Amino acid sequence: MSEIASFLSETRRVSPPFFLRRNALIQDYEADYRFALTNPEGFWAEIAEKLLWEKKWDKVLDFQPPKHNWFVGGKTNITLNALDRHIVSYRRNKVALLAVSETGKETLVTYDRLLRRVCQTANALRSIGVGKGDRVLICLPNTPEAVYAMLACARIGAIHVFAQTALGVQSLRHRVHDTEAKVVICADVTYRHGKRIPLKGIVDDAIANAESVEKIIVLCRDQPRLALDSEREIDFHEFIDGQPQWINPELVDANHPLFILYTSGTSGAPKGVVHVHGGYMVGTYYMAQAMYDLKEYDIFFNTEDIGRILGHTFITYGPLLNGATVMMREGAIDHPNIQAFWKLIERHGVNILFSSPLTLQTLMKHGAEVIKKFDLSTLRLITSSGGYLDADVHEWVQKHVMEKRGCVLDSWWQTEIAAPVLGDFLAADVKLGKVGKPMPGVVLDIVSLEEGKTVPPNTSGLLVLRQPLPHLMHTIWNNEERYAKYWKHVPGCFNTGDMAFYDEEGYYCVIGRIDDVVKVSGQRLALTEIEKVLQTHQAIEEVAVIGLPDKELGEKIKAFVVLKAGHKPTDAMRSILRDYLRRELHANATISEIEFRTTPLPRTQGGAIAHSLLKAEALRS
């Protein structure tokens, strides 16, 4: 129990205001949870009935581990429910999307306008041969065009593969080659902290030998305008602006792939998580309401990257499925200053702020005095996902931002489970340092690592799903064997890969990964992948990377490096290695500490580097 002692000692709790409880979409959590537990298929069918289907399903769930197929025989298209059903209602001229640049430029797009732009983009893709099942890689910042591209792919049954703009060459190259992407949609630049960050060069390097890529569609934003290769490169707006503003949605099987999103795994190579039209649609539609109390009249501000699952589900799909207005912003939240961020919330009357622990820490660092200058009375909820929410940060945001009028809610999910699994509810007290209770429809267990047997309360173990969810990943792209491993530790149960415990009241706390994956600033990074990239640097003889706990980042990375002859262990070399890793892997792949060694790294009897020994040394120091 020693590893969870600090979590158990936390006793602070917050009671959501009465008026929020009274108006919450979930009034009786216990009743909803019991119904879903006793009749899971009936529970999910009831939710699915609220959405449009060209053909209703023959069977709600076909579960033969490791495969699970939801709404079998049903035909739909997620854009029918995210777009079409709204434009035949009073929501037609309502703002669907509000995009804000780092400089403050705002773009408002109504549901009607959004459907037209999506159809134009879809027609453009069709005109160059993109069809059902083809993969389209998207590398765009938080701009309206990113949403157009994603929904356009969905509209014609193509599969979008989003690559974050922070990815390096090797990471991007793997996604292109693994999916055999037919088309790449990218921007020439993005902006962060007022700086111009080139993207096109990284994309060019990544696709240099990619035979599958036929066309590159470039969102040209920089001045002077980027010169394009006339043979296979196309300007985004020149390409779509003249296209017809309507295209019929491709009606696909409920289990047809919607998107592939890559996440780090223990083998080093990123794994392509596949989510499908039907199940993902139903799960995200419901969880937006159940977890975040999202109502159609809400303005939902998501500060996160559209290229992560946090952005896929709660920028592009969840809010639109519920007919709400979603707001997103490119760049750093505190540029040009933190006042601009709070002014944005005040001016647009934001109701729900969706964020990450790291973003909330940033707000905390800027202090409480600046907040007093703004009217935040419309803000009723702040929600956190993407990492452990420290109790002190939680309490500060509750006290200084929400005061007594609203509430801060934590939640937990992952790329593999594309919508909340655990979370705080307005119908119950919020316990700081915990991540709430299982959502209705979610059946969890915590089992021992050795035997896979259920452990008692206040005992850490492996967090598993006892039943599949509609928004649980369908498979791993091109790797069924790797997907099947998720179900092997406890037969018939899905292994989340996270350690957790729950207390006597049923509140959960997710401690961290059990594998070699670390989460730095909310970004999952595989240590083996980092080692693999660093090993390609010409100065490195051998390298080992470990993850260590960190109060601000959640986890941090330390590297032990032995240099080749002729290279000196200097601070300049540390900077070179850090820059190399960020360019080749990911902008967030920051090594907090590099320790140079002049002797070979310790090894096990089998000849592998003894990571556990190095980690023990680091923890002692």
Inter-CA distances, 336 with 107, 269, 328, 330, 353, Å: 19, 37, 16, 12, 20
Distance CA 161, CA 108 (A): 25
Tokens of 252: 């696909």
Give 380-439 pLDDT, tens digit per residue.
999 999 888 989 999 999 999 999 999 999 999 999 999 999 999 999 999 999 999 999
Give 363-374 pLDDT, tens digit per residue.
999 999 999 999
Q: Is residue 70 within 8 Å of 60, Cβ to Cβ?
A: yes
Mean pLDDT of the chain: 93
For residue 334, count CB atoms less than 10 angstroms from its CB and return exposed for 0-12, middle for 13-18, buried for 19 or more: middle
- What backbone torsions phi and psi does residue 436 show, to the nearest 5 degrees? 85, -155
Q: Is residue 586 within 8 Å of 164, Cβ to Cβ?
A: yes
As assigned by CATH, the class of the 2-499 domain is alpha beta
pLDDT of residue 6 exceeding 70, the answer is no
Domain ranges of the chain: 2-499, 517-620
Q: What is the pLDDT of residue 514?
A: 76
Distance CA 295, CA 21 (A): 14
Q: Of the candidates 19, 128, 78, which has an alpha carbon nearest to the alpha carbon of residue 318?
A: 78
Distance CA 161, CA 181 (A): 8
Q: Is 63 helix (H, G, I), strand (E, B) or coil?
A: strand
Residues whose CB is less than 8 angstroms from the CB of residue 556 and which lie 6 or more positions away in sequence, other chains included: 518, 520, 547, 548, 549, 550, 592, 593
Strand partners, 597: none
Q: Count each helix (H run) and each strand (E run) in the chain, helices first.
A: 21, 34
Give 339-365 pLDDT, tens digit per residue.
999 999 999 999 999 999 889 989 999
Distance CA 95, CA 343 (A): 19
Q: What is the pLDDT of residue 303?
A: 97
pLDDT of residue 1 exceeding 50, the answer is no
Distance CA 238, CA 240 (A): 6
Q: Of the candidates 145, 182, 188, 185, which has an alpha carbon nearest to the alpha carbon of residue 162?
A: 185
Q: What is the pLDDT of residue 267?
A: 55
Q: What is the pLDDT of residue 154?
A: 99
How far from the centroid of its chain's Cα atoms is residue 511's Cα?
A: 19
- What backbone torsions phi and psi does residue 137 show, to the nearest 5 degrees? -90, 130
Distance CA 254, CA 72 (A): 7
Q: Is residue 150 within 8 Å of 102, Cβ to Cβ?
A: no
Give 304-333 pLDDT, tens digit per residue.
999 999 999 999 999 999 999 999 999 999
Tokens of 110: 């109504």
Distance CA 380, CA 376 (A): 9
Give 124-133 pLDDT, tens digit per residue.
999 999 999 9
Distance CA 402, CA 381 (A): 8
CATH superfamily of 517-620: ANL, C-terminal domain (3.30.300.30)
Q: What is the pLDDT of residue 2?
A: 44
pLDDT of residue 553 exceeding 60, the answer is yes
Give 480-526 pLDDT, tens digit per residue.
999 999 999 999 999 999 889 999 999 999 987 776 778 777 777 87
In this structure, of 150-154, 164-168, 347-351, 415-419, the range with the lowest mean pLDDT score is: 164-168
- What backbone torsions phi and psi does residue 59 show, to the nearest 5 degrees? -145, 135
